[in-house]
Amino acid sequence: MRPSWEDLGVLCRGFLLLLLPFPSHGKDMPLGSTLTPGGNSAAWASPNSTFSLAFAPSPTSPSLFVASVTYAGGISIWSAGAGAPVDSGGSLLLSSTGDLQLVNGSGAVLWSSGTAGRGISAAALQESGSLVLKNSTGGAVWQSFDHPTDTVVMSQNFASGVNLTSGSYVFAVDRATGNLTLRWANAGSATVTYFNKGYNSTFTANRMLSSPTLTMQTNGIVSLTDGTLNAPVVVAYSSNYGESGNMLRFVRLDSDGNFRAYNAGRGSGTATEQWSAVADQCEVFGYCGNMGVCGYNGTSPVCGCPSHQQTEQRQQGATVSDAVAEEAPGGGVGGADPPIPGPVEDRGCFE
């Protein structure tokens, strides 16, 4: 029997619906699923849409795009390839072999999960914010919580032996002591540890730890657990400790080299700082760049000229051009003057 016009209409409408992008709320993404920067690609969402995985413009290059897991409102907690950007033709692909790949428009694979041939059958974004690659029985073979970028959220365990990275800065938990460590590790230069502090030794009797793990608790406490400890040890309290509400708490290694605790209300898109590891930002190595002078203008740290003489003259009202002219042979000025902020308190140089 030949189909009626009504039957054909139903089939056509069903086909068109298949072509429309639908957000996947908590559903498994099967092999072959793809995210793209364009508007025709639906975000992968957690069951209650608390978190979503999608492409967003790169904060440094708006013409490029980064695949990120974001909290409702736009707070990024993880990015594929540590934030490696792709062009408008790029994609995030769960391949037929079970490998999650970040691919540029040229076809070059910029990053992959390395899970090809490990029995992956689907991907899912959990309500905790973790992106999970699962096998046919639902077991987690790979998850983003085990491969963090610069952020650790509630219910995520950050173990020793894993790093957070942001530019040239690295955060880790020391395996033996449980100390929080911050390092500057610029390529081609010697690594510098500028922060290495831990919890009160009276809690541990100075014992050697086995596998310390850092956790951000829902009440705002940053705690440390280990098999040798009887109970979690408090590392830090958020300034709004104990407050509740529909919010996300997290710790993050920021681009300025400091490690901080934050909270963000659902849908606000704004994170509020509640604690920082390095109280004096000028103690962050390289914060002002090579040979920079870090100081304060009364409200925040500023970066100034490395010359102590120029700093003193500037504080006395002389211009940078005057200082350079006095030091240059014959009183000439060799090159353009760098931009200098207003008078600052000299706090020393970083080489």
- Find where tokens 């992106």 sit: 131
Closest Cα to residue 129, out of 73, 80, 82, 72? Answer: 72
Mean pLDDT of 278-287: 94
d(CA 134, CA 130): 12
pLDDT in tens, 257-274: 999 999 999 999 899 999
pLDDT in tens, 186-199: 877 889 999 999 87
Strands (E), 126-228: 131-135, 140-143, 151-153, 157-159, 164-166, 169-173, 180-184, 192-197, 213-216, 221-225
> Which residues are registered as beta bridge partners of 152?
251
Q: In whole numbers, what is the pLDDT of the chain averaged over residues?
A: 82
Please, what is the end-to-end C-alpha distance for the chain in angstroms? Answer: 84
pLDDT of residue 22: 39
pLDDT bracket for residue 26 (50, 70, 90): low
Mean pLDDT of 70-94: 96
Residues 6 or more apart whose CB falls under 8 angstroms from that of 134 comprise 28, 120, 121, 122, 123, 124, 140, 141
Tokens found for residue 302: 């500023």
pLDDT of residue 194: 97
pLDDT of residue 343: 40
- Number of other residues whose CB lies within 10 A of the CB of residue 316: 8
pLDDT in tens, 200-253: 666 656 678 999 999 999 999 999 999 988 889 999 999 999 998 899 999 999
Evaluate whether 322 touches 332 at the Cβ level (below 8 Å). no
Mean pLDDT of 106-129: 97
- Answer yes or no: is pLDDT of 334 > 60: no
pLDDT in tens, 288-316: 987 889 998 888 899 987 665 454 545 55
Evaluate whether 187 touches 177 at the Cβ level (below 8 Å). no
Handedness of CA 220, 222, 225, 229 (dihedral sign): negative
| Residues 293, 295, 298: CA angle, nearest 5 degrees | 160
pLDDT of residue 212: 94
pLDDT of residue 290: 79
> Which residues are registered as beta bridge partners of 249?
263
